[in-house]
Amino acid sequence: MPGFRTLHFGDVVDVHLIDADRDNNEVIADHLADLLVRYHSVNDEPRLRFALVIAVESADALIKLAFRRQPEGDEAVLREAKALVREYLHRHVGLS
């Protein structure tokens, strides 16, 4: 449509979209922890949940960067994001 543009007022429309009491990335990290405990016999401890929050926040920031650089997502940034999260979790939680 001629003259149509979008306006961007921030990174997230609603940081509590998934859960009214917790931010979205915290909910995602908790769900990942639950899956790892249930299906991969990882010990459910505060260190696991903290490491997953760090990993999810890091991945979120890098994914945003990838899509700022290229509308379809910069593959080099996405590859580095995967490597960063994988290495971080392996070092801090023993996941690979």
Nearest to 11 by CA among 61, 69, 82: 61
For residue 82, the enclosing domain spans 24-93
Contact residues for 54 (Cβ-Cβ < 8 A; gap 6+)? 88, 92
Say if residue 45's pLDDT is above 60: yes
Task: Please give the structure tokens belonging to residue 6.
Answer: 């979008």
Say if residue 12's pLDDT is above 60: no
As a whole number of angstroms, the distance between CA 26 and CA 89 comes to: 16
Assess if residue 2 is contained within a domain: no
Assess if residue 15 is contained within a domain: no
Model pTM above 0.85: no
Q: Is the CA virtual torsion 59, 65, 70, 74 positive or negative?
A: negative
Assess if residue 28 is contained within a domain: yes
Q: At 66, which CATH number?
A: 1.10.357.10
Of 2-6, 81-85, 92-96, the range with the lowest mean pLDDT is: 2-6
Taking residues 3-16, report their average pLDDT: 52
Look at the chain and report how many structural domains it folds into: 1
Task: Please give the structure tokens belonging to residue 42.
Answer: 């990882």
Say if residue 55's pLDDT is above 80: yes
Assess if residue 46 is contained within a domain: yes
